[in-house]
């Protein structure tokens, strides 16, 4: 089973590029299941129903979230009903939306879990226990075909800790949030494909997606700066392609793919 997972979609530049190029990715790599982190898809903060609909229509199967998932108020109108849009599972129990889902495609059941780290981020429930409760009796290769975890997190060490804790219990664990693709895509010792951060789908001639001119002012002056907007140049699409064994649900390969924009391409 082939999985494509795209990094944080940032603003119009990122989402337009992904929608435009997704047919290329599907034709070249023939994935069975496609995911993307979408918490920054709406002008850099949050996501709307129309954007979700556009991404689903383009061929994204599941959209994961993070700390900005509720920044666009439109999301409250539909997140409870839209099971293909996830928010972190370790949010408080009464938070709208879902932190995980089981999706059936091509006669396979795929469990996707979205969880958020706590180092340098908001104080949430324990991400380790949150994942453990969801996985519980779901065993890849037996009653579930594949398990995918998005750990939305600031600290690389915390992402790696999640990776090693659930190595062999999930087929793919990806880090999101920091918008910079890391060079550590690999298969861990017990068979889980892992990368510390997918990077983003957005304009890298920026400061993690935002227009660099205004963002620089904020760093240099340390005063409130108005008018910070997403960068609008050509986007780079950053993702991983993972092949999961149909019998065990564990990874046979992981490949980082970077296409377009200002980063050096790899394919």
DSSP class of 44: T
Q: Residue ranges of the alpha helices (H) in 30-98? A: 49-58
User: What is the per-residue burial (b if ≥16 Cβ within 10 Å, else e) of 5-39?
Assistant: bbbbbbbbbbbebbbebbeebeeebebbbbbbbbb
Joined tokens for residue 98: 């879902």
Q: Counting Cβ atoms within 10 Å, is residue 76 exposed (0-12), middle (13-18) or buried (19+)?
A: exposed
Distances (CA, A) of 127 to 133, 167, 197: 10, 15, 17
Active-site residue, from 43, 68, 152, 177: 68
Is 152 catalytic? The answer is no
Active site residues: 68
């Amino acid at each position: 089973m082939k999985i494509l997972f795209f990094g944080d979609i940032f603003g119009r530049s990122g989402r337009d590029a992904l929608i435009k190029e997704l047919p290329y990715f599907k034709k070249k790599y023939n994935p069975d299941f496609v995911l993307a982190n979408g918490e920054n898809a709406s002008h850099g903060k949050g996501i709307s129903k129309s954007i979700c609909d556009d991404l689903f229509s383009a061929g994204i199967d599941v959209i994961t979230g993070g700390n900005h998932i509720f920044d666009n108020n439109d999301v409250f109108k539909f997140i409870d009903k839209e099971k293909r849009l996830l928010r972190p599972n370790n949010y408080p129990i009464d938070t709208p939306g879902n932190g995980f889902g089981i999706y059936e495609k091509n006669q396979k059941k795929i469990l996707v879990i979205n969880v958020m780290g706590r180092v340098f981020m908001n104080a949430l429930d324990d991400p380790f226990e949150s994942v453990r409760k969801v996985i519980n009796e779901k065993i890849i290769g037996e009653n579930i075909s594949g398990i995918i975890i998005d750990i939305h997190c600031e600290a690389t060490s915390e992402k790696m800790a999640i990776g090693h804790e659930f190595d062999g219990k999930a087929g793919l664990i990806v880090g999101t949030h920091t918008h910079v693709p890391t060079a550590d895509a690999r298969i861990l010792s017990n068979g889980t494909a892992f990368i510390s951060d997918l990077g983003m789908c957005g304009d890298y001639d920026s400061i993690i997606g935002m227009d660099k001119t205004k963002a620089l002012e904020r760093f240099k002056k340390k005063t409130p700066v108005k008018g910070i907007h997403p960068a609008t140049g050509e986007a780079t699409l950053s993702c991983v392609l993972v092949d999961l064994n149909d019998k065990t649900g564990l990874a046979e390969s992981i490949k980082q793919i970077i296409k377009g924009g200002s980063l050096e391409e790899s394919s």
